[in-house]
Amino acid sequence: MIVLFVSMTGLRADEHATFPAGDFTFTRPAKWEWVESTSAMRKAQLKITDEATKTSAGVTFYHFGAMGAGGVQANVDRWLKQFVEPTNQINAKVENTTVGKTKVTYVSAEGTFKDGMPGGDTTQKPGFALLGAILESEDGDVFVKMTGPKDLVKSSAADFKKMVESGAKKD
């Protein structure tokens, strides 16, 4: 019975090691948790926990199909407006690159994040950061967004980019 339990636990640890979102298949960083999505709009949801500080950051994946959710710039603007402070005060950065054949736009910002659904009630979270990526596809762009305490987001940036690139390298 114990062997079965250990075996089942091991299987769950590998569950969702790779997962699709739109036209891409991503590889989840090993230490990041798979979370059942809390919204039908989300194609995947992950959680990063800093064991030392007991803080966590969330990573969400969105895909709305072809012609959905507006263009790249509209989404960059929407993400940056999720901060209380003006854009010139949130250390906003936008970087355009190509991974394989996929155009990727990275977005980062930090300040007081307004957490909540667009148009709904929000909770202000000071000292937060956003790291996002938009992967362009003819079948509809995929939007990946990490938000959480600034230090945790910054320390997770390399794993975030590696995960994004794992999906972007499709043939």
pLDDT for residue 161: 98
What is the per-residue pLDDT across 43-63, written as a single tens digit (0 to 9) for each? Answer: 999 999 999 999 999 999 999
Claim: this prediction has a pTM higher than 0.75: yes
**Sequence ranges of the domains in the chain:** 17-168
Give 60-70 pLDDT, tens digit per residue.
999 998 877 78
Mean pLDDT in residue range 162-171? 88
Q: According to the model, what pLDDT value does residue 68 have?
A: 75
How much is the pLDDT for 14? Answer: 64
Amino acid at 63: H
pLDDT, residue 58, reads: 97
Which fold would CATH assign to domain 17-168? Answer: Protein Transport Mog1p; Chain A (3.40.1000)
Whole-angstrom Cα Rg for the chain: 17
pLDDT tens sequence across 113-122: 999 877 789 9
Torsion of CA 48, 140, 134, 49, to 10 degrees: 0
DSSP3 helix / strand / coil % (the chain, rounded to 5): 25, 40, 35
Name the token pair of 57: 């950051």
